[in-house]
A and B are shown apart, each in its own frame.
Chain A
Amino acid sequence: MASVNTEAKAENLEVKSTSRSSVLGFFMAAPPMLLVVCFVGIPILIALTFSLGFTSGPNRVVSIIGQEIHKKDHWWGTFAAYKDVFKDSRFPGDLRTTLVVSFLSTFLTLLMALGIGLYQRIMGGRIAAIMTTLCLVPLFVPVVISSWAIHTFYAGDGFMRSLLSHFGINFPTVTSTVSAIVIGSVWTSLPFAILMVTSGLQSIPDALIETAQDAGAGFFRIVRTVLIPLAITPIVIAGTFTAIGIMGSFTIPLFLGPNQPTMLGVEISNFFGAYNRPQQSIVMAFIVFTAASGIALIYIWANVKSAKQSGRI
């Protein structure tokens, strides 16, 4: 009887302490949450109302300064600014460039990260270590510098053209083309992808790979049936982060891309600043956000899946 009583007491105590720590935890988590709500959440909500034609309240100043502002004509607002953007002759090209660059750069980044990561996992050794370290260099270079460095490297009087002209090869000027944006995006995205992929591959036990080899599986079969399925969560996380980052990028397409068509990140800035059409600029931000949200869902799905597998849910 006495032991039951103490057990119950202990349980009771535990419940009390968890509920107290949960309240404490909530308050400890509050400051960054508040900061994000105030300076990310609320501005985005205000921007949403602005894009729908709510021009009073916090949107008053920007509505007075900006040009081609549409005011709401229904209780819920108006889609006029959205129509403006979709009817704009440059928009289809910009959207296509944004999607193609994001997709292609993410694909190439993952391919390189996987290639180097798998090589390092299976072979190890000096070459693998050098290559991984090499790929981490961009992590420590500010985007403004790397974009400008890549700009000069592939420019008309850049290194590539200078070097190859000595061999009689007329290397094309890559700077100010869509290809240059892809080069810059891959360059800056590589470190994060490599880190995620290698950490995922390292956590796979050697025994699994050896067993598969003993069963007669070749290199590509092991990669396809053992390594990639087991490391799929970090690979998906690497891919989604890369794609979202590239989709909203600004400095890289600004320094490296052509004037037209360009990526929506640059166009958002142009419409907001140079063209003074803030409403249309915000509309474009929401279009990019919608696309990025789709990718973010894949990320959350991958996380939930891995949490389920390891029994955390």
Chain B
Amino acid sequence: MARVKARVKTSSLGVKIFLYIFMALMAVFILGPLFWLGIHAFVTNWTYPNLYPDGWTFHWWTRVFDDSALETAIRNSLIISPIVVIASMVICLPAAYAAGRMNYPGRRIFLIGMFAANSFPKIGLFASIATLYYALNLMGTFLGVVIIQLLGTIIYMTWIPAAAFAAVPRNLEEAARDAGASKFRVFRTITLRLAMPGILVAVVMSFLASFDEAQGSYLVGAPQIFTMPTEMYSLVQNYPIQVAAVFSLLLAFPSVLLITLARKHIIGGQLAEGFQIK
């Protein structure tokens, strides 16, 4: 590796300058829109084409917190998403263990079936689901929104932990069994602990998938139940950009919190590992 690096490092200054320019452009491309919107949460007004806003204010924040509809949306999101994640764990983690460790009839079909379900356009599925929801009286209900969001988490909660469970070395478990540990203890202290990073990534991804889900929740939840993302749809149309900016910052907050929690494992390959059917 050292040699590989050394050889290319001798390359010209031109390459280096090109790289820095490329990095700067990437930074503008990715972070630019976020900063631009974020700053708007604190400005009174911004006249084109000035590079500075006309003034600074916290007015929009009080406006968001005073608006009961927005507050309800925030509360709904904070209640629904944890429920979705816990339900998803209860439903999917045993299946993930089975898919990672056992060989049962239809195992591959199970994994591919999960994927096939993912390739039907979401918005088309939500339109199709409406029929079923009317029949089951789930339209505009809390449970209906939970189920819709649950569907989006399944692929994360089955695939990523399945790969993590599969990667736990069997001989470690056998050694612990030989040393006299009970089956449950081996599972708790070895299997579960080693698979934990994968499960953590799955939990984070599922939470974000649920917390950010907008199309389905809007179709089955509105106008009775609004979550933060579905509120955004009406927000961007009916409120000044600054209010949408405040709301965006609030909506992005849990994500930023979770990025610091799981960043290492996500970059460490747990996510990528989970998306290869084995």
B147 and A39: CB pair below 8 A? yes
A187 and B30: CB pair below 8 A? yes
B1 and A25: CB pair below 8 A? no
Determine the chain B residues whose CB is within 8 A of the CB of A285 once the complex forms: 120-121, 123-125, 127-128
Interface size classification for chain B: 35 or more
Determine the chain A residues whose CB is within 8 A of the CB of B112 once the complex forms: 300
Contacting B at CB under 8 A, from A135-163, are 135-146, 148-150, 152-154, 156-159, 161-163
**What 0/1 readout, one digit per residue, does chain B (223-240) give for beta carbons within 8 Å of chain A?**
000000100110010000
Known: A233-B276, A285-B127, A296-B119. A32 touches B158 (CB 8 A): yes
Q: Which of A7-15, A68-76, A77-85, A117-125 lies at the interface with chain B?
A: A117-125
A293 to chain B, nearest CB (A): 6
Q: How far is the CA of A283 from the CA of B49 in the complex (A)?
A: 45
Known: A33-B95, A131-B23, A134-B27. A145 touches B48 (CB 8 A): no
Q: Which residue of A lies closest to B40 (CB)?
A: A152
Determine the chain A residues whose CB is within 8 A of the CB of B267 once the complex forms: 132-133, 136, 195
Contacting B at CB under 8 A, from A37-91, are 39-44, 46-47, 50, 58-59, 61-62
Contacting A at CB under 8 A, from B67-105, are 91-92, 94-95, 97-99, 101-105
Determine the chain B residues whose CB is within 8 A of the CB of A161 once the complex forms: 48-49
Q: Which of B56-64, B168-176, B181-189, B206-214 lies at the interface with chain A?
A: B206-214
Q: How far is the CA of A241 from the CA of B118 in the complex (A)?
A: 9
Interface centre among B9, B124, B276 (most CB of A within 10 A): B124
B65 contacts chain A at the CB level, 8 A cutoff: no
Q: How far is the CA of A140 from the CA of B1 in the complex (A)?
A: 32
B145 contacts chain A at the CB level, 8 A cutoff: no
- Of A31, A133, A282, the residue contacting B92 (CB under 8 A) is A31
- Of A130, A166, A286, A295, the residue contacting B124 (CB under 8 A) is A286
